[in-house]
Amino acid sequence: MSNGKLSSRTILVVGGGIAGISATVEAAEAGYEVVLVESSPTLGGRVAQLNRYFPKLCQPTCGLEINYQRIKKNRAIKVYTMTSVGKVEGETGNFTVSLNTRPRFVKANCTACGDCAGAAESEIDNPFNYGMDKTKAAYLPHAMAFPLRYVIDPSVIGSPEAEKIKASCTVDAVDLEDKEGSFEIGVGAIIWATGWQPYGAEKITQYGYGEVADVINNVEMERLAAMNGPTAGRIVRPSDGKEAKRVAFIQCAGSRDEKHLPYCSRICCLGSLKHAAYLREQYADAEIDIYYIDIRAHDKLEGFYQKLKNDPQVNFIKSKPGSIVRGESGDPTVKGENTITREIYANSYDLVVLATGMEPSARGEGSSVNLQRDEYGFVVPCVFEPDGMIAAGVASGPLDVSMSVQSATAAALRAIQAIAQGEGK
């Protein structure tokens, strides 16, 4: 109550990935009101799109399930999906935030029975599988969606198909008149957990992503290995469905490169090691080559690296490849110089996986807000003075899942401190 205005004890969390979810439940369980907004139709973010994750190689359904329970049980949490931040005005303790919502065309009484998907005819690229397969225009984002509610793609709205979808719903949950909207809320602190996106591998032109068949990136590899992915967990080549047994991983595809992402993205080394483990588990005769500059298996996971290093079917080649081209047999061929043996090589594979790095999400969240960002676009977390604008998870820099959760817990505490300090003035 510093300047006569009523200060707000509500915390806004922007982004419903693992960091946003963690910050939300931590702050709410400490007794604060929390509003969680997510621009896509479901919580879960990039973690929901993983097959398994570190440190214990669990399936993400487990961690998400626990956190969804914590959200459901806590009456201090309000979740808004398909909602993004418009304008932010005011100061710590007294922010006024305008939120914009996109139409979902499905009301809260949806029972997720799937009749609408059965009635829909047109298909769209499935964003959950990075467009590697199709989904119906009336769809559930994925099995672990929160809220567990269908979405209708705007592309079919206004067509007879939309009417058919509406007619198929037995509980009258389809609302074709759903419109974009906006509303304002007052909050005391804002946690930006806006996350990341994989670096556009097509920008590294010499690696042929999008041009040479069977050159994919690491997030696509994660979907290929997942039971709920486009191939039901069979790691096969996208071009002909052949089993991918001879596989190359190209580390630092975009990262540690002044022409792309100058920083180390931190997760990709262990990511590729994990992918190598998927392959070894699936195919006893898999042969894997990992091309690297340095292996940076950070933290407690050095042992995981050592285990694969001792595997005779996993080779580590110290080299940043020069190019990836289509070989005479049609297979992707990796060319470069082995910097240990000093030999020039050209090796063919069934599948080449580019270990692309993380860049700050460009989905526009907070772009209208004057957030302090570093030269790479990550939000600078304010450490020294109590500030109501706090970054959590990969919005603040490249982190893995467990570090994101730590960062989110810290952000929740910092938000509480910022509010408490404002009240004490």
**# chain residues binding other proteins, by CB under 8 A:** 22
Binding mask 238-257 for other proteins (x = CB under 8 A): --------------x---xx
Nearer CB in complex with other proteins: 164/318: 318
Nearer CB in complex with other proteins: 272/319: 319
Question: Which among 42-50, 215-223, 335-343, 403-411 is the span making contact with other proteins, rule CB under 8 A?
Answer: 335-343
Angle, helices 218-225/268-282, rounded to nearest 10 degrees? 30
**From candidates 9, 298, 309, 320, binder to other proteins by CB under 8 A:** 320
**From candidates 321, 393, 397, 398, binder to other proteins by CB under 8 A:** 321
Eight-class DSSP state of 423: H
For every residue of 86-112, which 3-state class applies, written as one string?
Answer: EEEEEECCEEEEEEEECCCCECCCCCC
Q: Note whether 7 and 423 are within 8 A (CB).
A: yes
User: Token pair of 233, please?
Assistant: 């967990």
Query: Is beta strand 215-217 parallel, antiparallel or unpaired with respect to 351-356?
Result: parallel
Nearer CB in complex with other proteins: 179/342: 342
Question: Which among 129-137, 234-242, 338-346, 406-414 is the span making contact with other proteins, rule CB under 8 A?
Answer: 338-346
**From candidates 322, 348, 413, 421, binder to other proteins by CB under 8 A:** 322
What is the torsional sign of CA 16, 18, 23, 29? positive
Question: Which among 62-70, 175-183, 273-281, 334-342 is the span making contact with other proteins, rule CB under 8 A?
Answer: 334-342
User: Token pair of 151, please?
Assistant: 């979405």
What is the torsional sign of CA 119, 121, 127, 130? positive
Residue given tokens 């559930």 in the structure block: 140
Q: Note whether 224 and 377 are within 8 A (CB).
A: no
Question: Which among 1-9, 95-103, 182-190, 315-323 is the span making contact with other proteins, rule CB under 8 A?
Answer: 315-323
**From candidates 59, 168, 338, 421, binder to other proteins by CB under 8 A:** 338
Q: Note whether 119 and 159 are within 8 A (CB).
A: no
Residues 341-360 that bind other proteins (CB under 8 A): 341-342, 344
User: Token pair of 381, please?
Assistant: 């977390």
Eight-class DSSP state of 7: P
What is the torsional sign of CA 17, 21, 22, 23? positive
Eight-class DSSP state of 379: B
Closest CA to 220 of 271, 152, 172: 271
**From candidates 10, 94, 218, 319, binder to other proteins by CB under 8 A:** 319
Residues 51-90 that bind other proteins (CB under 8 A): none
Question: Which among 10-18, 139-147, 336-344, 387-395 is the span making contact with other proteins, rule CB under 8 A?
Answer: 336-344
Q: Quick check: 336 binds other proteins (CB under 8 A)?
A: yes
Nearer CB in complex with other proteins: 170/339: 339
Phi, psi of 55 (to 5 degrees): -85, -15
Nearer CB in complex with other proteins: 29/257: 257
Nearer CB in complex with other proteins: 217/361: 217
What's the closest the beta carbon of residue 344 comes to other proteins, in angstroms? 5
Binding site for other proteins (CB under 8 A): 206, 252, 256-260, 293, 318-323, 335-339, 341-342, 344
